[in-house]
Structure 1
């Protein structure tokens, strides 16, 4: 058997239902699809895996309607087993394909995936393998986006050769990447976000999806400026890391959280002592839904939620094209006066 990614994915697709029972054991079959919460084997129904090829559409392909993620059964093995590099994924795929197919199991009879490592463990492992960003391509990339952060920010790391696989062609490669830890507000790493970078230093790598997340994200975020377990009476939250990092540049004393998606923003867990929450606006419909739901939850928790709106597409656009001083002046009219005095530089 060829060891190429495309060949392994094709062979796994021939045994798609058996692979789903092995690696997505918290799901169930519904017609020609296996339904489960997500690629990390969470209970639910938003992810659909095609079990048999139909009309030229390959078996084993999947899409998560909630997150927009998609891929094939190699990605299922990577995420559900918490694997980091392609060698481990390929070895596990070969192990599975050499086994006799398991007998069909009745619905509700779920067994645990063979691998014991979970995605948060893989995230912590990859984060530990990465380096501080000072003097690296990651620092240069952020500076090129106008983002100059304190070297004491614990959430950010750099990996010189992070594994990437193209979901369409199955080809694999390694590229430098900015690694951002997704944590609970008490500082425990539950996942991470990888941003692959162009080795020449010209921004993000030329990939269809140069940014992907891994691990348990719901309720957690990329936190900047929040010490583990610390009180955060005033904070800001939004979807994208660069949006929130841009606000952090202008208001360095303000704790900010990047939830990585609109759905995850809606489910963000509030830190201790939070009484005022600024939510960075996003122009798309999903972003508006995330803001609305988070505002509702904040109100139910007795937290005042206020929306911050950029002048251009997002706050990183404002920072890069209008400048830090202009962005600070723009924000001053949107903050509660005492917060403007506390967090914005004197103008």
Structure 2
């Protein structure tokens, strides 16, 4: 049967490099291996996937040198998409391999797969699993139109070409959407955020509420980059990606709203937190609450303030060089060389 784990694993191994390029897009090939940070598609070199069978073992097997975890390409699909149940992993693998769903061998009626409750954690995970990497999509077009061109480490951002949108008291519509995975400190998906887009990716969709979140968001964030002892947290995805244009090595944590920014959970290794607040009363209140919480935990808190309403507005109106100069003045001196890009 084409749906068994062993058969799917073998078929995926026959296309090991294509699997890695699709699900571990933040890695790269070196010799007979694909190198990446971990099975969640984090940039790095700790995890290596064997692309060709050799005396060391079959193709498709991987080892994470940092954790000594091992597995096959089904585990890669599971980890990169945040899937928990094997049927969902198998469905994704069959879709990648263009295989039909296997016929049931039992004579009993097929078990109906119930839809996940609207707005639930499971619905968020399914939506993210059905989305695709943003490279070459309208989501990338949308971000580039806002001046955001450095998109490394954005495995938690994806694109769905026909994402459901339910207006008030009107039939459900579909629009293209940028989909962001909201994760907890372990990397487990607890929610998703949707930004519905215009059909050409030039702007947000012309709907009443072009941004909505779903799932369990409390304490979690959209994590971009590898968590470290210095990170930046703020509200909007575009705002935080704008900061990352001039701080390309800085891990960031968009919290999606001022209320959620105030209660984010701190990674264990965090020692300095840059707080990126929008210029409005809600942003000021979130900043103050976060500073107080960080101080209690012994974490140094430093505020980064935009010249206009937020840093994406700064980037679009002032340009990269002016944004770099503005941010540089607000960094701790030791972080300038560590995180800041140099003018081209």
- What TM-score, normalized by structure 1, do the two folds share? 0.63
**Equivalents in 2 of 1:156, 1:174: separation in Å?**
19
Whole-angstrom CA distance in 2 between matches of 1:265 and 1:333:
23
- The correspondence of residues 88-99 of structure 1 with structure 2, limited to 5 A, is none
The answer for the alignment partner of 1:74 in structure 2 is none
Query: Take 2:326 and 2:207, find their aligned partners in 1: how far apart are those partners?
Result: 34
Aligned to 1:92: none
Task: Provide the residue aligned with 1:186 in structure 2.
Answer: 186
Deviation at 1:242, TM superposition (A): 0.8
| CA pair 185-249 structure 1, distance change in 2 beyond 3 A | farther
Tell me what 1:341 maps to.
337
Note the C-alpha offset of 1:201.
Answer: 2.8
SS in 1 for 2:181: strand
In 2, the alpha carbon distance for the partners of 1:198 and 1:130 equals 17
Structure 1 counterpart of 2:174: 174
What secondary structure is seen at the aligned counterpart in 1 of 2:248?
Answer: coil
Three-state SS of the structure 1 residue aligned to 2:334 is helix
- State the 1:115 CA deviation: 8.7
The whole-number CA distance in structure 1 between the counterparts of 2:130 and 2:277 is 34
Select which of 280, 285, 289 maps to 1:293.
Answer: 289
Would you say 1:312 and 2:308 are equivalent positions? yes
1:151 positional shift: 4.8
Using the size of structure 2 for normalisation, the TM-score is 0.64
What are the equivalent positions in structure 2 for 1:164-313 lying under 5 Å apart?
164-167=165-168, 169-226=169-226, 230=227, 232-313=228-309
CA displacement at 1:321 relative to structure 2: 1.4
Q: Which residue is equivalent to 1:121?
A: 122
Change in 2 beyond 3 A, CA 1:151/1:341: closer
Q: Which runs of 4+ in 1 moved over 2 A?
A: 114-118, 149-152
Instruction: Give distance in 1, aligned partners of 2:244 and 2:268.
Output: 20
* Matching residue of 2:157: 156
Cα distance in 2 for partners of 1:233, 1:251 equals 15
Q: Which residue of 1 aligns with 2:15?
A: none
- CA contact under 8 A between 2:271 and 2:299: conserved in structure 1? yes
Query: Contact 1:277 / 1:306 at 8 angstroms: preserved in 2?
Result: yes
Cα distance in 1 between the residues matched to 2:297 and 2:138: 41
Q: Please report how far the alpha carbon of residue 150 of structure 1 lies from its aligned counterpart in structure 2 after TM superposition.
A: 3.0
Q: Distance in 2 between matches of 1:201 and 1:241?
A: 16
Aligned to 2:132: 131
User: For residues 284 and 321 of structure 1, what CA distance do their matches in structure 2 show?
Assistant: 19
In structure 1, stretches of 5+ residues that fail to align are 1-113
Distance change >3 Å, CA 173–CA 274, structure 1 → 2: same
Structural mapping, 1:34-113, within 5 Å: none
**How far does residue 282 in structure 1 lie from its aligned partner after superposition?**
1.3
Q: Residue deviations 1:7-46, cap 9 Å, x none?
A: xxxxxxxxxxxxxxxxxxxxxxxxxxxxxxxxxxxxxxxx
Indicate if the aligned counterparts of 2:191 and 2:217 stay in contact, CA closer than 8 A: yes
Q: Distance in 1 between matches of 2:147 and 2:116?
A: 41
SS of 2:326's equivalent in the other structure is: helix
SS at match of 1:193: strand
Counterpart of 1:332?
328
CA distance in 1, matches of 2:167, 2:151: 33
CA deviation string 1:74-95 (max 9, x = no partner): xxxxxxxxxxxxxxxxxxxxxx
Q: How many residues align?
A: 229
Measured after TM superposition, the shift of residue 152 of structure 1 is 4.1
Displacement of 1:316? 0.3
For the Cα contact (< 8 Å) 1:275–1:303, is it kept in 2?
yes
Q: Deviations over 1:265-315 (max 9, x none)?
A: 010000121111110121111111111111110000000111100111110
